[in-house]
Structure 1
Amino acid sequence: MAMDQDTPQSKAHAWLSGVALGLVALAAVMGWAASFVGLHEYGMTSMTGFSYWTAWLVPATFDGAAFACTLMTYRASIHGRSALRARLLMWGFTAVSSWINWIHQPTLETRLVAAGLPVAAVAVFDIVLLEMRADYEARTGRTKFRLRPVLLVLRWLVDRTGTTAAFRAQITAVPVHQLIGQATPAETAAPETASAPAAAPEPSLATPPAPPAPPVTATPTTEIPKAVSRGPKLPPPMVKAVQAAYTRARDKGREFTADDVHAVIKVPADKAEQIAASYSTTNGHALA
């Protein structure tokens, strides 16, 4: 039941959000269109050599450049790159457009209205881009670091030491290669150095071959026989334990039996008999 109530509400919010963004974008377009008309009139009446058609190049240059910088600001922002340069150019071209709209109007009231047209368009469209970036971050989960001066000042007034330490930690957590615009270490590929072919030595400078070394004769070594059981094959730790038990039985002067085998390893009775029989020699080695 709760889901049925939430679904119309979420649809209404999405509808209102879309309508609001559309209205704000429409207001920005109308502001740019009005500024276009003013700059076109200025180019046609006040600039020498411009006709009706060529005068459209004036608003297309300044207002169009401001609009293009606005789009570049949005594109850089959603990809996590610095948009300071594009934002400065956006407001710089807007200032030029506003100044042109100011100077060619006759009265103070009309100057104020004309100068505010491009400023309103850029400011409103900048708000649209901020909302679009917030929606993008909500969908993808990519939230970038933002500086909120008012909240930062209030936090610093309440807790100066903690705020300074937290701010320092947030800044130092940003990798240096991102601050200076370099590639990440994983993206930096080591240059492949082509190995130059080795030059063949000249016959006159070639060194004579070394005399053959005398053959090395291997020193005969006496191999120590290992205790290899004729019975079941055992792992090396078990073989070592059985040999130790056999040594103790021989030191005591008695025969090595299956009970000695059972005392050190856990094997069936028949296998213990086989192991004891394999050590029934005078030196503890298997019968040949």
Structure 2
Amino acid sequence: MTVEHTTSPGPTAALAADNPIWRTVLDGIATALDAVPTWLWLTAVAAQLLLIGTLAVIAVRRRDAGKSSSGLFAAAIAATIAFLIAVLAGSFKGLVAFGRDTLHWNDGWEYLVPLTLDGVAIACALLTLAAVKKQKPADAAYRVVWIATIASAAINFDHEAGSADGSNAGGFYLGLLSLLGMLLLHIILGLMGEVGGPRVVRVNPTFGLRWITSPADTAAAWLAWQNHPPLPLRANAGPEQTARYASVRHALAHLETVRRAKRIARYRVDVPAAGLPAAGRARLWPWLRLRQLTAKIADQAKQAAAALAEEQQRHADALAAEKAAAAAKVEAVRAELVAVRAELDAVRVELADTTALFETASRELDQAGRALRSAEERAQVAEADAARARSEAAAARQSVVGMIAEADGLRVQLRDANREAGRQAALAAMARDEADGLRRQLDDRDARHAADLAAMVERMTAERDAAVAKARADAVTSVTTPARDAVTPASRDGVTPPRPGGATPDRSPRRPPWSDAQKAAFAYRDANPTATWIDVAKAAGSNESTVRRWFKHRDEYQASLADVPASQIANPKEPVTSGANGRTVTTR
């Protein structure tokens, strides 16, 4: 077998190139739908109806049991929508075939047929739901839904039944798909609109299948509703009244009301006309004259019945009056008999009351005698109790007087004790003040003695240092200048004079004049009381131990400036016969 290779596309390739992608996709979907057998569609529809019925029964049972059925409702809606898509797909296929075969629409125009029929029906169904949500009447959209649905079903039936390879069963099936699709959509939207939704006041009644089952009565009800509209619904109407308004039952009741009003109006016109000769249309239409005469006869019968009823009422009233008079006489006799019986009963009651009073008086007299005797006994006992109480009261009065006297004595003793306690407290306060004064004097004496001793030690130390310095200076002078006899005297304040020969002065003097480093340290510490020894040492350019020694020297110098005691300081070489506190000191 030889395979020929050509550079030009074949007819299949050219046809595929002319068709757009969407057309190819839609043709594929249509081919897939064509491959589905009819029995499978019928089985799907039957299964769908069975599933919806089962879910509805389960939902009703759960609602009766008080359980929530929101999940079940959602599942039912989802399943119903899935089957609805399948049903609409079948109707869609039949309408597309009608547009392609009958209308000869191609290149995608054939899809306008299902969009303009089933699509319009679906859109109007959604508009119906929106109108319900907005509490607006949706009669027009409702009619459009069923008009488009019936048109779609009729087109599917006619196209399938009239095609060469079609049949009436196929047409019936496709028409049934259109009706079932809209019916399922209507049920779904009704359920979604009724769940928690408010009731909408209808303007016109919706008769539905009644146009087929009872067309004459339905047409009369519709004409009565249009020509003689009922009163509008009140603003404060309840849910039941709102639901009944513009319903089929309300429309039929309104039809009966209109017919009764017309009969009453005709009766009011026919009764006067029957008393006159036939005129107008009554001459040509015998049944109109018959109706007038019938109305007249009915009116006369009504008047005769009213007269008979009035006569019977008068007779009944007279008979009732006679019966009332006889009854009044009987009642009078009965009243007299009752009065006699009442008087006899009153006498019997009075006799019984008198006997009872006599017996009661006898019992009360006996009780009074017993009460008098018991009262005398109680009086004697009370007199004895009163005498005993008087004696006890006198004794209690005497004891109270004694207790009052004792209380007065105790009060006086307490006052004296308070005075003595106050005096003792004053004496204790005076003794405490004297002790504090003596303690302060003793502290002052100790302080003065310590100051005197420190001053004396400082003075002796200074004199010793001065003597040592003088000796050292004399020695140096004698060594350096033996030919000279002059000696540099020491300063009276104990400060070592500058060394001869131009030596450097002491950098850490114990007394003023202080060195520059010492002055810098003292000034820094006075300006910064919270500074540490390390900070002061850094400011003075020295170490911490040297700075501490400088401040110690300054404190010692300031302490030496205290007041010198006026008493003569004893010669250390002589024995001291008295101490600082006046105590005798024995020396050997």
- TM-score interval (norm. to shorter): 0.3 to 0.5
Task: Give the number of the structure whose alpha-carbon radius of gyration is greater.
Answer: 2
User: Of Structure 1 and Structure 2, which has the larger fraction of its residues in helix?
Assistant: 2
Q: Which has the higher contact order (CA 8 A, sep 6+)?
A: 1
